[in-house]
Amino acid sequence: MKKHILSLCVLLSPAFAIKAISQDIHFSQIFETPLLRNPSLAGLFSGDVRVQSVYRTQWNSVTTPYQTTSLSGEFKVAVGNADDYLTWGAQVLYDKAGTVALTSTHILPAVNYHKSLSADKNMYLSLGFMGGYVQRSIDRSKVTTNSQYDGTGYNPGLSDGENFSKSSYSYLDASVGMSFNSQVGENVNNNFFAGLAYHHFNKAKNISFYSDNNTEMTPKFVISGGIRMSMTDISYFTLQADHTSQGAYQETIGGALYSWKLDDSENPKYTFHAGAYLRWKDALIPVAKIECNPIAVAVSYDGNISQLKPGSKGRGGFEVSLTYQKFANRYNSSKEAVRCPKF
């Protein structure tokens, strides 16, 4: 939730422009935004095709709501007659923040190669890349500052005192990541993954509304991990966590979901998931998810536990996600080529 407070600093001074942009868009449902975590997590699911959309709104109780939408898609294919496979994907983001309508649009294609490390096709090392176009803009007419206070009240006829050289800018962005995933024990449904991502490695420059060519995107490192373990024939739990480091900013989020298959234990039509995540020193996040194969819907809510709790009255962000995931009916489907993971 801190992301959007800092984003307002972009509008206040060139010095803040560097640090404000260093905090990226993030979601609480990290399990529904794999490409934002690490491009090498693309394709780590049971199926050939996955499309995910997440909508987030926050700070309704404090100011103009901040709204963020994510849309991602993944399509994986076996590589020839080998045990390797390839995932093609794309990540699209749209974010609108605050009264000045600070808007960000990201269009980021991705590719991930999965190298088999086992003849049983249940252990893989993945290397992924993602990069593309980012555009940011503000509504100049909505910017208000102390310079427009004339001693008796707000005077829109006065200059806001800000030396914006432009109301929009764009840049190219690039990320790379590596991950390892493997089956755990004899049960093919038990598996884990671990990964490291390096975002913004091209360090885009001049990312400011001011004429300051010294601004530079701060690279971001993300360490991710997760494990899924069966409890009974009809239930299992999933643990996932991320730690993010970007300049002086640090964030840790993790949690667990417990899952119940409501019908067939092997190929259930309906599965219910419930649990909670914690963003350290920021938010407690209850989560509920229902799968009606091949569709899934999840909802979560950030209960604010940060220093902003008095001002926000404990309220934070609401998220809802929609996922479509299935195997394709084709010769080179990954259904028989890949034994894991099952996230």
Q: What does the block give as tokens for 40?
A: 């090498």
pLDDT value at 117 more than 90: yes
What 3 state SS string does 124-144 have?
A: EEEEEEEEEEEEEECCHHHCC
How far apart are the C-alpha atoms of 241 and 30, rounded to whole Å?
Answer: 8
Q: Which amino acid, 21? A: I
Per residue in 302-313, pLDDT (tens digit) is 998 876 654 455
pLDDT at 127 over 50: yes
What is the H or E stretch that residue 217 is in? none
Q: What is the dihedral of CA 101, 102, 107, 108, to 10 degrees?
A: -150
For residue 149, give every residue at least 6 positions away whose Cβ sits within 8 Å of its Cβ, in sequence order, or none.
155
Which tokens belong to 75?
A: 């399509």
Say what the pLDDT of residue 25 is. Answer: 86
Given pLDDT bands bounded at 50, 70 and 90, which one contains residue 122? confident
Cis-peptide into 294, omega within 30 deg: yes
- Write the pLDDT tens digit of every residue in 210-263: 876 678 899 999 999 999 999 998 999 999 999 999 999 999 999 999 999 998
Reported as a pLDDT band with limits 50, 70 and 90, residue 115 is: very high
Lowest mean pLDDT among 12-21, 145-154, 307-316: 12-21
* Residue 335 pLDDT: 63
Give the per-residue pLDDT at 208: 85
Determine contact, residues 72/89, Cβ cutoff 8 Å. Answer: yes
What letter does residue 226 receive in the DSSP assignment?
E
- pLDDT the model gives residue 27: 94
Q: Any idea where the domains of the chain sit in the sequence?
A: 2-142+164-326
| Lowest mean pLDDT, pick from 64-73, 108-117, 151-160, 288-297 | 151-160
Structure token digits, residue 78: 């076996």
Q: H-type helices in the chain, by residue range?
A: 2-7, 14-21, 34-37, 309-312
Residue 267 reports pLDDT greater than 90: no
What is the share, in percent, of the chain residues with pLDDT greater than 90? 58
- 2-142+164-326 CATH, one of 2.40.40.20, 1.10.1740.10, 2.40.160.60, 3.30.360.10: 2.40.160.60
Sign for the pseudo-dihedral over CA of 197, 202, 203, 209: negative
Residue type, 333: S
What's the CA gap between 172 and 116, in Å, rounded? 32
- This prediction's pTM: 0.86
In this prediction, residue 142 has a pLDDT band, given cuts at 50, 70 and 90, of confident
Classify residue 254 as left (phi > 0), alpha (psi -120 to 50) or beta: beta
Show the tokens assigned to 53.
Answer: 């959309």
